[in-house]
Amino acid sequence: MTDSAISSKKDLSERALGALLLLPAALLLLGIVVYPIATLFWSSLHGVDNANVAAGEQWIGLGNYLRAFEDDRFWASSWHTVLYIIVTVPASLVVGLGLALLANLPFRWQWPVRLGLLLPWALPLVFAGLIFRWFFEYQTGVVNDVIVRLGFEPLQWLSSPNLAIAAICITIIWKSSSFMALMLLAGLQTIPKSLYEAAEVDGASRWQQFTEITLPMLRPAIFVALIFRTITAIQTFDIPYAMTGGGPGDATETLAMYIHKTTLDFLDFGYGSALAALMFVLSMAATSGYLKYTRRSAGRGEE
Amino acid sequence: MNFFALKRRTVIWFAAISVAVNGFFPVVWIFLTSLKTETELIRSPITWLPEAATLANYETAFTAQPILRFMWNSLVVATASTALCVLVSALAAYALTRLRMPHRNLIMSVLLAVAMFPLISLMVPLFKVMRELGLLNTYFALILPYAVLSMPVCTLVMASFFQDIPPDLEAAAMVDGCSRVGALFRVVVPLSAPGVFTAAILAFVNAWDEFLLALTMMNRVNMRTLSVGITLYQGEFAFPWPLISAALIIAIVPICILIAAFQERVVGGLTAGGVKG
């Protein structure tokens, strides 16, 4: 009886201490994330009435959202964002898996290989965008140089809409495949060697070992990496900003770039907030899928 | 037998070269560009290796824009936000791993959800908040958000290290008269130094690389951070590539040194956040 009383008192003080230790994190989250996001939804319901500009920002209900629905530029920039997601997420997975498999071979010197994966990851996205803009220059870029040397016509990479999107996709894939490879490499290194040895004894081919052992064992790592990539791809901003600035015209503009322009260049906070709120909801849907998955796998671990 | 050994070596060399070329080629290419002159640059067909290597672009890079000032701004913002982030995350990670807290998983999930907030959604209202507080063009406008943005991954990384420390050590310290918080800083944190260090590197790189908020919160040239400052070398229509390349190389060197020195930590930290979490 006394024992349990003591331990419950101890529990209580531990809880109080725990709450105290979590307090700074909670305060920062409230101030920097929760409060701004709340005001985001609030200001998305306001706007300036063109007939009555002097009145300033007024309550216009869902007006901004209805406006987005009819705004071609909103749909176009959303479509570009979706395009970047569906092209670059699977492609960076394939390239990243390739890099991870190569990097997992038994090298005598591990560090150059590891650094070859780390450098693209550590480079700021804008730098990658600038560097590849230089690669894709029409007259002096290295990409067209190689194309011409191979005997083909040089391409207008950054001034033709479709090619500009392709160039941006290639850059995003280069930048993000290294991160994919690092995550998958860690997954590869947890697969016990004995599985491969057993498969070898049973006469399984290399390809069978890959499809029957490597891929299934790698599934959790692949899933986590894919979700991480998708969530960052929704926010694509830096690379197109550095490579094309959204151009030619608005042909490569993403939703994030449009939101940035609406709020900071056009100073239309109400409409910008509505667009940002839409993106927030979209992104949270993807996150909840991720959380559902991790909670399920955490539950499995505890069993 | 010899043939297979040869084939195996070929495969390994091929692997090493492709990973290295993929990772290093872009940086090597801008390094070569940074040594060229504008006149060499527009020759057709283009030259790969600079014919008359010059360091003039580096000189111009230091004078055309206040690049050392950009670097200083980045350093201040990244260091301060890393320190704040590691401190706050260490307290949170301790509470979540070493104390019997209710709703632990829920708190972890909320933290993770924050890590996935779209920054652009946060940027719009945060700009207004910072403007009202008069914090635009001050270091605080970036230090606070960066600390929060790296908090989830830092908490996860440190939690995974804290978990592995035997509770007996802490109990022993408390018997010797340490308070619980004293035990955290005298026993748990020193013993998980690699984890704390890893978390710090990740937070630092995140802050150093960030672009969108830096672009938004700092519009005065001498408050720009490096990632934004580099984009100022371009003219409206002209791109002086040798100069931009030289500036990029100057900006990349610190980050290269950092990851080369601590590569194992960084790899471990990146994967602790993803695969374990």
Q: Which of B99, B107, B128 sits opposite A17 (nearest CB)?
A: B99
Residues A139 and A229 in one domain: yes
Closest partner residue to A123 (CB to CB) among B11, B252, B277 is B252
Superfamily (CATH H level) for B64-276:
MetI-like (1.10.3720.10)
Tell me what pLDDT residue B275 has: 40
Minimum Cα–Cα distance from B105: chain A residue: A295
**A124 and B208 in contact by Cβ < 8 A?**
yes
pLDDT of residue A294: 63
Chain A: closest CA distance from residue B93 (Å): 8
CB of A64 within 8 Å of a chain B CB? The answer is no
Residue A90 placed within a domain = yes
Rounded alpha-carbon distances, angstroms, from residue B27 to A23, A187, B126: 43, 28, 34
Mark whether A183 and A227 lie in a shared domain: yes
Asked if A230 and A124 sit in the same domain, the reply is yes
For residues B203-221, b (16+ Cβ closer than 10 Å) or e, as one string?
A: bbbbbbbbbbbbbbbbeee
Q: Give chain B positions within 8 Å (CB) of A221.
A: 274-275
- This prediction has a pTM of 0.87
SS3 content of chain B, % helix, strand, coil (to 5): 80, 0, 20
Q: Is residue A61 part of a domain?
A: no
Q: Which residue of A has its CA nearest to B208?
A: A124
Which residues from chain B sit within 8 angstroms of residue A134, using beta carbons?
Answer: 29-30, 33, 239, 241, 244-245
Cα distance from A93 to chain B (closest Cα, Å)? 15
pLDDT at site B277: 33
The total domain count for chain A is 2
Rounded CA separation B62/B60 (Å): 5
Q: CA of A65 to nearest chain B CA: how many angstroms apart?
A: 15
At B55 the three-state DSSP class reads: coil
> For position A139, what pLDDT does the model report?
83
- Name the residue in chain A with its Cα closest to that of B244: A130
Q: Check B11 against A106: CB less than 8 A apart.
A: no
Helix (H) or strand (E) holding A125: helix A125-135
Residue B146 contacts residue B227 (beta carbons within 8 Å): no
Query: B237 to chain A: which residues are within 8 Å by CB?
Result: none
Shared-domain flag, residues A179 and A296: yes
CB of A132 less than 8 A from some CB of B: yes
Which of B19, B106, B110, B202 best tests the A interface by mutation, with the highest count of A CBs <10 A? Answer: B19
CB pairs under 8 A between A and B: 291
Under an 8 A CB cutoff, do B30 and A124 touch? Answer: no
Nearest to A231 among B101, B116, B208 (CB): B116
Cβ–Cβ under 8 Å, residues A47 and A60: yes
Closest CA to A102 of B13, B276, B209: B13
Model ipTM? 0.87
Distance from CA of B216 to the nearest CA of A (A): 8
Q: Are residues A37 and A78 in the same domain?
A: no
Distances in whole angstroms, Cα of residue B236 to Cα of each of A264, B135, B232: 19, 29, 10
Contact B26, A131 (CB under 8 A): yes
Q: Minimal Cα–Cα distance from A77 to chain B, Å?
A: 14
pLDDT at B182: 80
Which amino acid belongs to residue B44?
A: S
Residue A57 resides in a domain: no
CB contact under 8 A, A145 and B205: no
Angle at B276 between CA B274 and CA B277, to 5 degrees: 65
Q: Are residues A145 and A15 in the same domain?
A: no
A56 within some domain: no
**A99 and A209 co-located in one domain:** yes
Chain B: residue whose CA lies nearest to A23 = B92
CA A87 to chain centre: 13
Chain A residues 194-233 with a CB less than 8 Å from chain B: 220-221, 224-225, 228, 231
Instruction: Kindly state whether residues A38 and A137 are assigned to the same domain.
Output: no
**Domain map of chain B by residue range?**
64-276
Of B129, B180, B239, the CB nearest to A17: B180
pLDDT at position B120: 87
Give, for all 303 residues of chain A, the pLDDT tens digit: 455 555 556 666 778 888 888 899 989 988 888 888 888 888 888 887 666 666 677 788 788 888 888 889 999 999 999 999 999 999 999 999 999 988 888 777 777 888 888 899 889 999 999 999 999 988 888 888 888 889 888 888 888 999 999 999 999 999 999 888 888 888 888 888 888 888 888 888 888 888 888 888 888 888 878 888 888 888 899 999 999 988 788 899 999 999 999 988 888 888 999 999 999 888 888 777 766 766 665 544 433
8 Å CB contact of A105 and B127: no
A99·B19 Cβ contact <8 A: yes
Say what the pLDDT of residue A208 is.
87
In which domain, by residue range, is A33 found? 2-43
Integer Cα distance of B41 and B50 in angstroms? 9
Judged by a CB distance cut-off of 8 A, whether residue A100 touches chain B is no
Looking at the fold, whether A30 and A132 belong to one and the same domain comes out as: no
CATH number at residue A129: 1.10.3720.10
Interchain contact, A105 vs B15, CB within 8 Å = yes
The answer on A104 and A162 residing in a single domain is yes
The one-digit pLDDT tens for each residue of chain B (277 residues) are 466 677 878 888 888 888 888 889 999 999 998 888 888 877 777 778 888 778 888 988 898 889 999 999 999 999 999 999 999 999 998 888 888 777 888 888 787 777 677 888 888 889 988 998 999 999 999 999 999 988 988 888 888 888 888 888 888 888 877 777 787 888 888 888 888 888 898 899 889 989 999 999 998 989 999 999 998 888 777 788 889 999 999 999 988 888 888 887 777 776 665 443 3
CB contacts of B277 in chain A (<8 Å) are 224, 294
pLDDT at A258: 94
Looking at beta carbons, which residues of chain B come within 8 Å of A99? 18-19, 22
B97 CA: distance to closest CA in chain A (Å): 10
Question: Are residues A73 and A36 located together in one domain of the fold?
Answer: no
Residue A49 within a domain: no
Task: Give the β-pairing of A57-59 and A46-48.
Answer: antiparallel
Contact A157/B at CB under 8 A: no
Question: Are A151 and A226 in a shared domain?
Answer: yes
